[in-house]
Amino acid sequence: MSETMTDEARPVATAPTISADPAGATPPDAVDPARSAAPPGPEDPSGASAPAGPEAPGRSRHHWLVRLTHWVNVVALTAMVASGLRIFNAYPAFAPRGGTFCCYPFAGQPIPEWLTLGGWLAGARHWHFAIMWLLVANGLLYVGFIYLHGEWRDLAPRRGDPRDAWEMVKFYLFARREHPRQGKHNALQKLAYLSLLVLAVIAVATGLAIWKPVQLGWLTRLMGGYVWARYWHFLAMLGLVTLGLIHVFMVVSVDPYSIPAMITGRYRADRSPERRNARPFQHLFGPVRPSGATAEATGADAARERRAAIDPEASRDDDTAERS
């Protein structure tokens, strides 16, 4: 166990590793001078070369378990949403019989059938109550894995995140010229992926509340009763679908190179959005920022560099070995 984990833990970037990059993205001669001077760390504070780690030979951007659970989640979540919409169509409203509901303007309008799975109410329920176990098991496997293996660090909120997220917003709105420096994910991505996790937990909890409104009545009452629990369940679904669609849009329009990374694990870090200075449909195929170009210096970047200098990444092998 500890052997596997150590293998998979992100290696500290060193000049030899980078110059051996089979992608040949960074001309070794351009990198080496800057590299040799840089202290080892997950990010090169000089801003001159590729982010460390993911593009190292034999290294996978995403652990195979993360890739597996990602695609299982795509299937499970799609099936849950589609079957859930079919169930919803049996009563596409929220008001109790003889009552009213404040907050759903589309009452009585069914969801288009082609978006649904199950064919009829009972069929959709069988799908929903079968796939829910897959969704939960897959989610627990993923969360348990990133907790034990250390990937949670890529998602954990940090103090500089709001400021970094704002810089990303400014960049996407052309209020800032240069792509902010980032780790594995930019701050907006971190926010999106964390929100997905939170929404998934809400979806499961509200789902239990409407599956067992009597036997788990405490949970149902906690959510304001059956009608509200069903509403929160619906909103959590809408949130998941919205974030999922944004995710797909951003993958296609900003970082299509992350698609193979989520399948085979291989990622051309020299083509990362940061290196291409990429906005949606802008610089999709480059230009790759030449080595030596410095990122626009901002307070956030400087703070990140300070963090990088003391980042515990280097001691990660010990961490994981200890836990396993």
Partner 1 sequence: MDRRDFITVGGGALAALLAACNSEGPPAAKGVLEFARRKNQDVEEALFRHLTMDHVKEGGRLAGDALPRYYVSPTVPVWDPSLRGAWKLEVGGAVRNPLTLRMDDLRGLPSVTQRVNHYCVEGWTALTQWTGVRVSLLAKLAEVRPDAKFVDFQSFDSGYHESWDLASALHPQTLICYEYEGSPLTPGRGAPARLHSPVKLGYKSVKYLTRIVFLPHQNGGYWTDRGYEWFAGT
Residues 6+ apart with CB under 8 A from 288: 25, 270, 271, 275, 276
**Whether 31 contacts 275, CB under 8 Å:** no
From residue 106 to residue 145, the character string flagging contacts with partner 1 as x (rule: CB under 8 A) and all else as - is -------xxxxxxxxxxx-xxx-xx--x------------
| Dist CA 206 CA 210 (whole Å) | 6
Q: How far is the CB of 264 from partner 1 (least distance, A)?
A: 6
Binding to partner 1 by residue 4, rule CB under 8 A? no
CA distance 33 to 218: 64
- Spatial neighbors of 55 by CB under 8 A, at least 6 apart, are 18, 21, 23, 25, 267, 268, 269, 270
245 belongs to the binding site for partner 1 (CB under 8 A): no
Nearer to partner 1, 16 or 217 (CB): 217
Nearest-approach distance from CB 232 to partner 1, in angstroms? 14
Smallest gap from Cβ 117 to partner 1, in A, equals: 6
Q: Give the count of beta carbons closer than 10 Å to the beta carbon of residue 242.
A: 12
Told to check if 230 binds partner 1 by CB under 8 A, we report yes
Beta bridge partners of 279: 282
Q: Could you say whether residue 318 binds partner 1 (CB under 8 A)? A: no
31/209 with CB nearer partner 1: 209
Q: How many residues bind partner 1 (CB under 8 A)?
A: 43
Stretches 89-97, 165-173, 283-291, 298-306: which one binds partner 1 (CB under 8 A)? Answer: 89-97
Establish if 175 lies at the interface with partner 1 (CB under 8 A).
no
Q: How far apart are CA 198 and CA 194, in angstroms?
A: 6
* Helix-helix angle 121-149:316-323, to 10 degrees: 120
What's the min distance (Å) between Cβ of 323 and partner 1?
32
Q: Is 169 in the site for partner 1 (CB under 8 A)?
A: no
